[in-house]
Structure 1
Amino acid sequence: MTYVDFISKLHKKTHRNYIERVVSDSKADCAVVAKQFGKDYWDGDRKYGYGGYAYDGRWRVVAEEMAEYYKLKPGQKVLDVGCGKGFLLYELTQVVPGLIVEGIDISQYAIDNSKEEVRQYLRYGLAQDLLYEDKSFDLVYSIGALHNLYIFDLKRAVEHIQRVSKGNSYIMVESYRNEQEKANLLYWQLTCESFFSTEEWQWLYKEWGYTGDYSYIFFE
């Protein structure tokens, strides 16, 4: 396994008031709404999730770095597990014209409101039940999704990603390195079910036979 950070530069641009998140509204009630992964989560009030998730081009730099790192070429196949509105998949098709992309997500709302250019390649699906043949994709990645699974489904998802990849895979999840980041994660998150330190994530990956790349985002 190799630690590769494509994402933190985007994550750190967002200012967060962790304490207000907990005390201003019923966080438990907000989490119930967020876990429906519907309009409120993506495009509703900030207390339920993104507070509006519209295309703004920010994923282009990530697509460029991933395409270079994995040496993606026209005709190769890429799968996004937890694709959301498909913004990164769209950018990959622009960076590597001729790339074949697919995405799955548990949010039908996100798929219905995805980037129009890639919408036909997205479908409803579960990370823990990837309906693809072994070694179907040149790259399989999951960004900011797998920590939303309970550990029994998380194990299956990681094993499926390993199985359907020809060798290149990348997983990014939320994690923490110290007690402050742990508290901030607990304050801020709405949908996370797997709360693990970086050492625990690495141990789990090895236990489950994952050999791909990985990284984290932290709530500093």
Structure 2
Amino acid sequence: MAEVDFMSVLHKSTPRDYLARVNDPEYPKAKAAEQAKKFSEDYWDGDRRICYGGYHYLKGRWEKVARAMAEHYPLPTKPKILDIGCGKGFLLYDFLKVIPDAEIYGIDISDYAIANSKPEIRDRLQIGNAISLPWRDNTFDLVISITTLHNLHAYDLDLALREMERVGKQHKYLCLESYRNEQEKANLLYWQVTCEAFNTPEEWQWWFKHTNYNGDYSYIYFE
């Protein structure tokens, strides 16, 4: 288990106006969150004040993340890779550019995301929940979950971390929203629209120990 940063290169490239998110007259934070938590069209491709404002594939954006992971983890030939909370499958699609013989799988709670995923890999993605993964123990050579599990309440977070550990072999990577001080805590509360698990890094470490999660991890902060 180690803290490995694959995601800050993407996270820090997005400008954020925290107060505007909270105080928008048409989509104040509470209204935006209510819509976003349906994980439907508004979340992915609706108004930017709700969430992504159009979640489209950008060439090269996720490829650098996939390449960094492929270079970091000593994966076997034809590795089986699972993305929990895969969304529209952009990371998995770019994994095939880096590891063309990879056997990819993705699961997401959003039927809209799966229906609007990359057509080339849509048959490798399925609707499902992180708390009950439909695969046997030790199925995957690499299991990934990026900015997904912190959207779960504590009782489901417990199950999801255990499931991630169960289906993976040696290599797992988890990215979570977190905060280190009151400013980052306030920014996280202002900006997030789906997060349910608000934990400091120390609290996340407690969760890892509690659920026997032994994979790698990193945090993103709203500075």
Q: Same fold (TM over 0.5)?
A: yes
In structure 2, how many angstroms separate the alpha carbons of the residues matched to 1:108 and 1:117?
A: 17
In structure 2, how many angstroms separate the alpha carbons of the residues matched to 1:163 and 1:64?
A: 25
* Counterpart residue number, 1:2: 2
In structure 2, how many angstroms separate the alpha carbons of the residues matched to 1:173 and 1:88?
A: 16
Q: Deviations over 1:25-76 (max 9, x none)?
A: 3211111110011111101101111011100020010010001111234421
2:44 equivalent to 1:42: yes
Extract unaligned runs of 5+ from structure 1.
none
* Counterpart residue number, 1:162: 165
In structure 1, how many angstroms separate the alpha carbons of the residues matched to 2:213 and 2:188?
A: 25
State the secondary structure of the residue aligned to 1:55: coil
Aligned residue identity for 1:21 = R
Q: Deviations over 1:74-111 (max 9, x none)?
A: 42100000000000000101100110000000011111
* Counterpart residue number, 1:15: 15
2:171 equivalent to 1:131: no
Aligned residue identity for 1:64 = R
Q: Residues 24-43 of structure 1 correspond to what in structure 2 (within 5 A)?
A: 24=24, 25-43=27-45
* Counterpart residue number, 1:66: 69
Q: Which of 192, 195, 198 pairs up with 2:198?
A: 195
In structure 2, how many angstroms separate the alpha carbons of the residues matched to 1:34 and 1:40?
A: 6
In structure 2, how many angstroms separate the alpha carbons of the residues matched to 1:16 and 1:30?
A: 15
Percent identical pairs in the alignment equals: 56
TM-score (norm. length: structure 1): 0.98
Aligned length: 220
Confirm or deny: 8 A CA contact 1:37 1:109 kept in the other structure: yes
RMSD: 0.8
Aligned residue identity for 1:20 = A
Confirm or deny: 8 A CA contact 1:73 1:96 kept in the other structure: no
State the secondary structure of the residue aligned to 2:133: coil
TM-score (norm. length: structure 2): 0.97
Shift of 1:116: 1.2
Extract unaligned runs of 5+ from structure 2.
none
* Counterpart residue number, 1:142: 145
Aligned residue identity for 1:141 = I
State the secondary structure of the residue aligned to 2:213: coil
Off by >3 Å, runs of 4+ in structure 1: none
* Counterpart residue number, 1:103: 106
State the secondary structure of the residue aligned to 1:163: helix
Q: Deviations over 1:155-185 (max 9, x none)?
A: 1000001010111111101000111000000
Confirm or deny: 8 A CA contact 1:73 1:99 kept in the other structure: no
In structure 2, how many angstroms separate the alpha carbons of the residues matched to 1:109 and 1:23?
A: 28
